[in-house]
Amino acid sequence: MTISLHEFIQGLPKAELHLHIEGSLEPELMFALAQRNGVTLPYATVEEIRAAYNFTDLQSFLNLYYAGAAVLLTEEDFYDLTMAYIQRALADQVRHVELFFDPQTHTARGVSTEIVFAGIARALRQARQEHAFSGSMILCFLRHLSEEDALLTLQAALPLREQYADLWNGVGLDSAEVDNPPERFARVFAQARELGFHLVAHAGEEGPPAYIHSALDILQVERIDHGVRAEEDEALMQKLAKTQMPLTVCPLSNLKLCVVDDLSKHNLARMLRAGLCITINSDDPAYFGGYMNANFIASADALDLSRAELVQLAKNGFCASFAPAEQKQLWLEELDAFASSTH
C-alpha cells in the first residue's frame, strides 16, 4: 500500500514513555472541571487560557501547569483527565503508556494520594479491558521540594502498592531542574530501588550533562527523561550509545520551552544517527501543542527523518518500556508488519 509520510506516521504503532498526566489537561476540560468543582480560574475563556501558553523556559510553564492542576479534586476528575488522554492516544495508534503523575501537586491542596491513584487507575484498567491498550504509572517526586517531602510521599503511597500492583511500577523525578540535581534525591531513589521499582529521572532538559551523569551513577535510573544536553559531553554520548540507555525526548516540549529555538536545530536526529536509543514523546501535550503523532510529524518534517528512522524511533519506544518481553515482541511484530506492508 502506498501512503504519504504523514499517513505512515499516523499508522505506526507507538509507545509513550514520557507523559505527565497533569500536562494532558486541555483548557476545555480545565474549564469544565473548574465549573463542576466551583474553582475560580484566572481566565474568562478557553481562548484566554490558550493565549497564556507562551513560555520562555521550564519555570514559566510550571507556574501555569501547577495552577491548572488546581481544578483536579475528585476521583472522577482524575478519571476524566486520564480517559481524555487515552482517547487521544488511541487515535494516535499509541498501544502503551507509562504515565507520570505528581502526588505532591495534589496532596499540597488537600487531595489524597488515594484519590489520585483511584481515578487514574480506573481509566487505565477500563482502557485495558475495552481496547488493545496497556498502561502503567510512574510516581514522580517534585525536585523543587525537599527529599524529606519525597520520602514522605513514597511512604504515603506504599500502602497502595498491592492494590495497584498491576499499574504502579516506577518512580521518577520532575519539576524545576536547574539547581535541583539528582543527587539531592539519592536516599529516596535508593529506597525505591530496594523496593523493586523501576527508576527514571528528568535530566539534561535545562540542566547540564553532569545531572545526567548523577542520574545514572547515583540514582541508577533505567531511562533518562529528555537528556538532550548530553550532546555537550562526548564521553557521555559514548556511554549512552554503548549502554543503549533510553532517552525519552519530547520535541514540541523543547520547542515551546525554548530548549531549542527551531525544531530543525533539534539534536534528536543527530543522536539517533549516532546510535543512541532515542524515543519520541509528548511530555505535556495540552500545553505544548500536540500529542504523539504531532511530535512525530513535526520532527519528521523538520529533520527529514526517513521511514526507517521513524520505525526505529517507534521500536525504541517499545523496547525501552517496562512491559514484559513477550508483550514487547508482539508489538515489534505488529510494527514490522505495518512497516513492510506500506511504502
Catalytic residues: 205
- Alpha-carbon distance of 226 to 18, in angstroms, equals 9
Q: What is the DSSP string of 6-61?
A: HHHHHHS-EEEEEEEGGGG--HHHHHHHHHHHTPPPS-SSHHHHHHT---SSHHHH
Judged by beta carbon, residue 92 or residue 309, the one nearer Zn ion is 92
**Nearest Cα residue to 16 out of 169, 135, 142, 173:** 135
Judged by beta carbon, residue 169 or residue 175, the one nearer ligand ADE is 175
Q: What's the closest the beta carbon of residue 269 comes to Zn ion, in angstroms?
A: 20
* Cell output for 176: 524545576
| Cβ-contact 119, 74 below 8 angstroms | yes
**Nearest Cα residue to 17 out of 304, 262, 222, 287:** 222
Q: What's the closest the beta carbon of residue 138 comes to ligand ADE, in angstroms?
A: 12
Cα distance between the two ends of the chain: 6
Q: Applying CB under 6 A, which residues contact ligand ADE? A: 20, 23, 58, 65, 174-175, 202, 205, 253, 283-284
Pick what 198 binds: Zn ion, ligand ADE, none; C-beta below 5 to 8 Å, kind-dependent: none
Pick what 16 binds: Zn ion, ligand ADE, none; C-beta below 5 to 8 Å, kind-dependent: none
| Cβ-contact 69, 75 below 8 angstroms | no
Q: Is 66 exposed, middle or buried (0-12, 13-18, 19+ CB in 10 A)?
A: middle
Residue range at the interface with Zn ion (CB under 5 A); choices 73-81, 88-96, 103-111, 281-289: 281-289
Q: Decide if residue 283 touches Zn ion (CB under 5 A).
A: yes
Q: Decide if residue 98 touches Zn ion (CB under 5 A).
A: no
Judged by beta carbon, residue 80 or residue 205, the one nearer ligand ADE is 205
Judged by beta carbon, residue 147 or residue 166, the one nearer ligand ADE is 147
Pick what 58 binds: Zn ion, ligand ADE, none; C-beta below 5 to 8 Å, kind-dependent: ligand ADE
Q: What's the closest the beta carbon of residue 182 comes to ligand ADE, in angstroms?
A: 13
Residues 6+ apart with CB under 8 A from 251: 263, 266, 268, 280, 295, 298, 299
Pick what 309 binds: ligand ADE, Zn ion, none; C-beta below 5 to 8 Å, kind-dependent: none
* 3-class secondary-structure state, position 137: strand
Q: What is the DSSP string of 105-125?
A: HHHTTT--HHHHHHHHHHHHH
Q: What's the closest the beta carbon of residue 250 comes to Zn ion, in angstroms?
A: 6
Judged by beta carbon, residue 99 or residue 339, the one nearer ligand ADE is 99
| Cβ-contact 122, 73 below 8 angstroms | no
Residues 102-131 within binding reach of Zn ion (CB under 5 A)? none
Residues 6+ apart with CB under 8 A from 114: 160
Residue 56 CB neighbour total at 10 angstroms: 10
Judged by beta carbon, residue 14 or residue 20, the one nearer ligand ADE is 20
Judged by beta carbon, residue 22 or residue 92, the one nearer ligand ADE is 22
Q: What's the closest the beta carbon of residue 230 comes to ligand ADE, in angstroms?
A: 16
Pick what 205 binds: Zn ion, ligand ADE, none; C-beta below 5 to 8 Å, kind-dependent: ligand ADE
Residue nearest to Zn ion (CB): 283
Q: Which neighbouring-strand residues pair with 16? A: 97
The length of the chain in residues reads 343
Q: Decide if residue 177 touches Zn ion (CB under 5 A).
A: no
Pick what 175 binds: Zn ion, ligand ADE, none; C-beta below 5 to 8 Å, kind-dependent: ligand ADE
Pick what 319 binds: ligand ADE, Zn ion, none; C-beta below 5 to 8 Å, kind-dependent: none
Q: What's the closest the beta carbon of residue 159 comes to ligand ADE, in angstroms?
A: 25
Binding site residues, Zn ion, CB under 5 A:
283
